[in-house]
Structure 1
Amino acid sequence: MVKRKKTKSRPTQKPKKNSGFPNPKPVFFAKKPLSPIHAEGEIKLRKQVQNLSYVFNPSSIAIVGASRNPSKIGNAILRNLIHGGYSGQIYPINPNADIVENLRAYPSLSQVGKKIDCAIICIHAKDVPHALQQAAGAKIPSAVIISGGFAEIGNVHGEMQIKQIANKHDMAVIGPNCMGVLNPQNKVDSVFLPLHKMGRPGAGSISFISQSGAVGGCIVDLAGAQRVGMAKFISYGNGTVINETDLLSYLMHDEKTKSIISYIEGVNNGREFMHAASSLTRKKPLVVLKAGKTSAGSQAARSHTASLSGSAEVFSAAMEQCGAIQAQNLEELFDLAKIFEIPAFLGSKIAVLTNGGGNGVLAADAIEREHLRPSIFSAKTIKQLKKILPPTAHALNPLDIIGDADSARYEACLQLLLEDENVDAIVAIALMQTASLDSSIVNVIARAAHSGKKPIIVVSTGGEYTQLHKKILDDYGVPTFDSPSSAISALAKALKYNIYKHTKP
């Protein structure tokens, strides 16, 4: 949420520009490598943040604004919960209907008379504070406010009402002006986009927090299509009560979350965010895509989620100090989300295995560009490779096993690279278009990756047939990429984080 003075604000008042971070010290702009900021002990979660467990794991949900009209958001959310497989109790709230989607409807939250863990509110902005007050009166510990029309359009008073009610009753409130929350493990789904229009990912270990619902929806849809699992997805909108810092702190303690990716337009309190990020990255990787870096983007962010984006240079330097990994665009954000499926590694010697020479050359270029090192195979590995490879192939890195390679040749070479001490990680490039390579390559690569000996990532470029096999590998937890450059860039950033994490405070 926007940082403002505590004095009364007129609805049209524009907040003063503020990066949200403390005044930058010279170290932010130092040319030498920045030292990590070390958190001062564990972060203790306040009651409101603890109550996020009711958002993600509710035994019962009420939908304020549940509608019989299929074009309304309240109907879409209700149908998503019903048809998505949520097994808890659902209470539609609609004063003008007795039945909504074959469920008994109630005029108000106060008239349900049963325990409710989370209220999803999707009604007109002017009615939201009253609905939230009713939720507090019914002792509902959490709410997700989908409704927009608050600080992002100058309605500061309405947003402050939400904050006051939530703080008074220790309610965990996501939003307002958000797209909702998703927990694939128990099918909690308050995202208002219909199931047939936006795919949902299966259960996984990646959690994604997004200030923008639109950006979040794109990544979630892509994750579902490519079979990349998620632990949790949170679109937090204006972040009035629960903001990005609170979410980082909660996910740090969440056992289902192994890595976090985030889309952020601005932060509420820079110092607190840095503390939370620094504590988190000592345990789990954090990937940040910061938007609003330009003057035009900053202005768009303000009208979008009432965010003050602040100085891009200060934010970038702060994230560097905190050990966070910075993505530059949505494509890289998604690539980096997958890379932490591989085992942690601390060496920079990369082996490239390919059935196409050109892609091997591109990989070699990317390795040097990312300041990694090509592996120099041991004499033992070279000797064994010469027994496997045809006379026209060379036992060098990148290892081009030429276009007639089948799955058996891939498997034999992978085993040798896994045993070579001069190899820290493997980039397996598979051109699925060749006549000799069939679907068995998926099992070969998955078995090698699951051995846990060394990290393996896959590059495969092509159309429908190629994409099908990439989806299967991603489903097996083997990260796939469209190009050598994107794969090796992600690998380099993973290595940078691994070194940061293993550096003693």
Structure 2
Amino acid sequence: MEGENLDFLFYPRSVAVIGASHIQGKVGNAIMHSITLRFGGKVYAVNVKGGEIEVNGKKFKVYRSIKDIPDEVDVAVIAVPAKLVPDVIDECGEKGVKGAVIISAGFKEAGRADLEEELVRRARKWGIRVVGPNCLGVTNLENGFDCNFNPPERQARPLFGKVAFMSQSGAFGAAILDWAAREKIGMSKFISLGNMADLDESDFMTYLGDDPKTGVITGYIEGVKDGRKFFNTAKEVTLKKPVVILKSGRTEAGAKAAASHTGSLAGSYRIYQAAFEQAGVLEAKTMRQLFNYAKALAMQNPARGDRVAIVTNGGGAGVMMSDGLLERGMKLAELTEETNERFRKDIEEGKLPEHMSYRNPIDVIGDAPSSRYEVAMRYALEDKNVDLLVVIALFQSPALDEGIVEAVARMKDYGKPIVFVAPGGDYPHKMARNIETRGIPVYGTVEDGVDAVYALVKYGEWLRENKEL
């Protein structure tokens, strides 16, 4: 599916903030702060009052109209009262602006569908593509183009990474960005969709599907604008990269709330479920699950099957992981006789303790150092019956040394996906961060680890059924 190249919205050379303000707390002032923190392009302030604004230690002349700016402008970020937006769009059109990000609310979601239709009519007359209205804007974590009006000291920005996120809810999108920053989940681009008067979730899905900086596409939606367009787009994009969607409005009450929020028609949840399944979209039920899926898919290749091996130093955690995997439709790998023989031989020779279990879950027991883990991980990954490895490490054991970080990193050479689980507090969290810098996703609970395995298995299944994996 050939989509329009929307690079101008994420990589503009010049931006005009229309409704820029010198008053702290005003949206126009906050947008100026966000854009000028890291963005290297030209930023122009526009307000009918004129004057001068100082933001982040820089002074900006305030133009009374975008038409007065003595330079080309690629994108206009508009934060003026809704009734003024159509006329502002005309001025943007005369200036040759390519894209408008409309932060202003007060359109379809407030019962003014007529005003929204008018702004779209005028934008189309000039060939301007519109994000919003009633949105938080867009953020490109790569180049610092950020028109999100939530100040960074209240809502952090994540590191640059492979996960793109689009959201019909600005507030939920802000919470996701904040959470991703805390969890050190790298993001490529964030899009607050708002009312989707022009560009919708399918347009951005198509764009992100071709974006070399995005590895996983995630989204929060209440309802899609055009069901057939969404289905066809998703079916094609999911063959290039995974798409994970958190759908709200699953209940009748939720669907009514969605209609009053962004004017979205949530529709029958069962229809959405069927469409997701048939288009290869992974549906998340919670915010946490959304990023459990996304993190695994961003850091690991999809699994070539559903047979999972578990290596653990805690028997209870291994049993919980087994239950979780089987309940979600996956299988515990049955290790080959050859692998069992390797374990038996090492036990007989005293290289491995005789009271360990190697029947899968492979319990290396509580006194296991990293060297014992390494043997077990290697044997499991070399087994032809194993498609994916889960490593559970209870770092509370004094025997487990920091060599586990490099030991698990060496396992990447086998090319099979690996999910690491490290439950507990500060020390396991610190070790988890070290392991993740080696490209292995780490989760703090068994349940989160099950989510990760599920995503890698389900996406692999979709690719096998629809193209070569």
Alignment TM-score > 0.5, same fold: yes
Measured against aligned partners, the alpha-carbon deviations of 1:165-184 in whole angstroms (never above 9, x if no partner) come to 22122212110111111111
CA shift, 1:485, in A, is: 2.9
CA shift, 1:58, in A, is: 0.7
Equivalent residue in structure 2 for 1:393, among 339, 351, 356: 356
How far apart, CA to CA, are the structure 2 residues paired with 1:198 and 1:296? 29
CA shift, 1:138, in A, is: 0.5
Secondary structure of 1:503's counterpart equals helix
CA shift, 1:374, in A, is: 1.1
CA shift, 1:364, in A, is: 1.0
How far apart, CA to CA, are the structure 2 residues paired with 1:110 and 1:349? 62
| 1:82 equivalent in structure 2 | 36
| 1:491 equivalent in structure 2 | 453
| Bigger mean CA deviation after superposition, 414-423 or 469-478 | 469-478
Matches within 5 A, 1:450-469: 451-469=413-431
Identity percentage of aligned residues: 37
CA shift, 1:273, in A, is: 1.2
Q: 1:310 to 1:249 in 2, by over 3 A?
A: same
Secondary structure of 1:336's counterpart equals helix
Matches within 5 A, 1:34-113: 43-45=1-3, 49-50=4-5, 52-83=6-37, 85-96=38-49, 97-101=51-55, 102-113=59-70
Q: 1:391 to 1:282 in 2, by over 3 A?
A: same
Matched, 1:403 2:370: no
CA shift, 1:448, in A, is: 2.0
Q: Is the contact made by 1:283 and 1:501 (CA closer than 8 Å) also made in structure 2?
A: no
| 2:334 equivalent in structure 1 | 376
How far apart, CA to CA, are the structure 2 residues paired with 1:441 and 1:199? 31
Measured against aligned partners, the alpha-carbon deviations of 1:227-253 in whole angstroms (never above 9, x if no partner) come to 211121111110001011111122222
CA shift, 1:122, in A, is: 1.4
Measured against aligned partners, the alpha-carbon deviations of 1:313-355 in whole angstroms (never above 9, x if no partner) come to 1111111111111111111111111121211222111011111
TM-score when normalising by structure 2: 0.93
How far apart, CA to CA, are the structure 1 residues paired with 2:173 and 2:440? 23
Equivalent residue in structure 1 for 2:383, among 403, 420, 429: 420
Which AA in structure 1 matches 2:75? C
Matches within 5 A, 1:91-490: 91-96=44-49, 97-101=51-55, 102-340=59-297, 341-386=299-344, 387=346, 388-449=351-412, 451-490=413-452
Measured against aligned partners, the alpha-carbon deviations of 1:343-392 in whole angstroms (never above 9, x if no partner) come to 12221110111111110000111122122211222333334334242222
Secondary structure of 2:385's counterpart equals coil
Which AA in structure 2 matches 1:368? L
TM-score when normalising by structure 1: 0.87
| 1:501 equivalent in structure 2 | 463
Which AA in structure 2 matches 1:62? A
Which AA in structure 2 matches 1:422? N
| Bigger mean CA deviation after superposition, 262-271 or 281-290 | 281-290
How far apart, CA to CA, are the structure 1 residues paired with 2:459 and 2:289? 16
Q: Is the contact made by 1:228 and 1:475 (CA closer than 8 Å) also made in structure 2?
A: no
How far apart, CA to CA, are the structure 1 residues paired with 2:435 and 2:83? 48
Q: 1:346 to 1:269 in 2, by over 3 A?
A: same
How far apart, CA to CA, are the structure 2 residues paired with 1:281 and 1:112? 42
How far apart, CA to CA, are the structure 2 residues paired with 1:410 and 1:319? 38
Q: Is the contact made by 2:419 and 2:452 (CA closer than 8 Å) also made in structure 1?
A: no
How far apart, CA to CA, are the structure 2 residues paired with 1:443 and 1:167? 55
> More relative contact order in 1 or in 2 (CA 8 Å, sep 6+)?
1
Count of aligned pairs? 457
Q: What's the RMSD between the two structures over aligned residues?
A: 1.7
How far apart, CA to CA, are the structure 2 residues paired with 1:122 and 1:112? 18
Gaps of 5+ in 2: none
Q: 1:143 to 1:443 in 2, by over 3 A?
A: farther
Q: 1:235 to 1:314 in 2, by over 3 A?
A: same
Q: Is the contact made by 1:206 and 1:229 (CA closer than 8 Å) also made in structure 2?
A: yes
Secondary structure of 1:208's counterpart equals strand
CA shift, 1:274, in A, is: 1.0
Which AA in structure 1 matches 2:302? A
CA shift, 1:475, in A, is: 4.2
Secondary structure of 1:176's counterpart equals coil
Secondary structure of 2:63's counterpart equals coil
| Bigger mean CA deviation after superposition, 462-471 or 397-406 | 462-471
Q: 1:132 to 1:446 in 2, by over 3 A?
A: farther
Secondary structure of 1:105's counterpart equals strand
Gaps of 5+ in 1: 1-42
How far apart, CA to CA, are the structure 2 residues paired with 1:405 and 1:498? 32
Measured against aligned partners, the alpha-carbon deviations of 1:195-231 in whole angstroms (never above 9, x if no partner) come to 1122212222221111111121122222211221112
CA shift, 1:504, in A, is: 4.2
How far apart, CA to CA, are the structure 1 residues paired with 2:18 and 2:391? 50
CA shift, 1:290, in A, is: 1.1
Secondary structure of 1:384's counterpart equals helix
Which AA in structure 2 matches 1:467? H
How far apart, CA to CA, are the structure 2 residues paired with 1:440 and 1:190? 43
Secondary structure of 1:350's counterpart equals strand
